[in-house]
Amino acid sequence: MRILAGAVLALCVSCTSGPAVAPPVALDRARTPEQLRAVLDSIRERTDVEAMMARARIYNRLREMERSGSPTLLALADVSDIDVLSHGAPPALKAESSARLAAHFRERADNPVLSRSSFPGHLGEPLRRIVLLTIASQFAEAASRPELAVTLEKLASATLAFADGEALSPDAVKLWRKRSEAAKARAAELGKGDEPLEASVEARSFCDAELQRHLEDGTRAADLGTREKANRGEMEGILQWYILALAHYGVVREAVLELTPAQEHALAAQEIVVRSLCDLICREP
């Protein structure tokens, strides 16, 4: 009976105490790149949210300390923040990671040296910028009102510049200008308030996705766009699916340093989507 009572008591203590809380990662005393890298080594095997957030913060601090223009540190930081978002972190941590991701994709849009994405054709570079700013806008929506406003202003400018390109059909020009005006109006609206921003279901789903789901959702969006194009659907709907597909693919392309064969295979559709999109919006030769 004493043995049984002891077992029951141990079980009760275990149940009331709950799961073990991951120990915090102290970064205050890490003042040099060498010290920060030592912290990285110490948490290498940890898969908890505390460690994920610490890695994201460390890689970003290393970028600042070393003034690095390397896409490698940027990608390492981003994949750590994507881990934070996709593993159920508390709201404050998710907002922090979302803000960093939004800022990083804006950097890539402005500086091709930092980007791993490149699209074929004469419209490839301006389209790359629009896709990266679209990704930034998704993460910014889960971050804060100011983050989304500054991102949409950049997206509006990039979209308007794209609309003014000589190669687009008249219908495509109207559509891209409409998208630019919508982004500009939304940015202006965001600047008029200061209450917390509630992310849409679509933005939340995008931000919370792990890398594998980004590939799956990208493939699904590409298929839906191609199906609508084959059925001669409206250009606006087809364009929306294709841009969404490229955004999902772009997250993986930019964040993963060494793609697996399966990821490479999935991302091969990226170029196909770009060519199909350009075929849709360009005027007849």
- In angstroms, rounded to a whole number, what is the distance separating the alpha carbons of residues 66 and 139? 26
CB atoms under 10 Å from CB of 33, counted, come to: 14
- What is the value of pTM for the model shown? 0.90
Q: What is the predicted pLDDT for the residue at 138?
A: 98
The size of the chain, in residues, is 285
CB atoms under 10 Å from CB of 254, counted, come to: 22
Q: What is the predicted pLDDT for the residue at 21?
A: 59
**What DSSP state is assigned to residue 112?**
G
User: 239 in helix, strand or coil?
Assistant: helix
Q: What is the predicted pLDDT for the residue at 29?
A: 84
Given a cut of 50, the residues of the chain with pLDDT beneath it are: 1-19, 285
Q: Which residues contact 184 (CB under 8 A, 6 or more apart)?
A: 152, 153, 156
Q: What is the predicted pLDDT for the residue at 70?
A: 81
Q: What is the predicted pLDDT for the residue at 99?
A: 97
Q: What is the predicted pLDDT for the residue at 5?
A: 47
Q: Are 120 and 127 in contact (CB under 8 A)?
A: no
Tell me the pLDDT tens digit for each residue of 60-114. Answer: 999 999 887 789 999 999 999 999 999 989 999 999 999 999 999 999 999 999 9
Q: b or e along 179-207 (b: 16 or more beta carbons within 10 Å of the residue's beta carbon)?
A: bbeebbebbeebeeeeeebebeeebbebb
Domain residues of the chain, as ranges?
99-281
**In Å, how far from its chain's centre is CA 70?**
18
Q: What is the predicted pLDDT for the residue at 149?
A: 96
Amino acid at 278: C
HEC sequence for 5-59: HHHHHHHHHHHHHCCCCCCCCCCCCCCCHHHHHHHHHHCCCCCCHHHHHHHHHHH
Q: Are 96 and 219 in contact (CB under 8 A)?
A: no
